[in-house]
Amino acid sequence: MMSEKQEQKTFEASMTELEDVVEQLERGEVPLEEALQMFKRGMALSKDCHEKLLNVERQLDQVMDEDGELSEVDLQKGANG
């Protein structure tokens, strides 16, 4: 099993891996047991990407004030806290 640090990837890296998994599964040339593991990995990658997008959306909401104007927010602090 991978450690949490090894598991952390950028959004782009996760999407690239997810696309690779989908392509392999769509070809239908993967044995059933391997396909099941790939499907599980794909679902985990999909969830990871979704969570990263939600996090970015929350950060953008913090940057915009009620009037739709930009407000100054420390994005590094927002991303970590």
pLDDT along the chain (81 residues), means of 10: 58 97 97 98 98 92 75 57 46
Counting the structural domains of the chain, the total is 1
The answer to whether the beta carbons of residues 25 and 38 sit under 8 Å apart is yes
- Asked whether residue 55 is domain-assigned, the answer is yes
pTM metric for this prediction: 0.69
Q: What is the pLDDT of residue 19?
A: 98
For residue 51 the two structure tokens come to 């969570």
CATH classification of the domain holding 69: 1.10.287
Give me the pLDDT at residue 28, please: 95
Residue 40 within any structural domain of the chain: yes
One-letter amino acid at 4 equals: E
Would you state the pLDDT for residue 70? Answer: 73
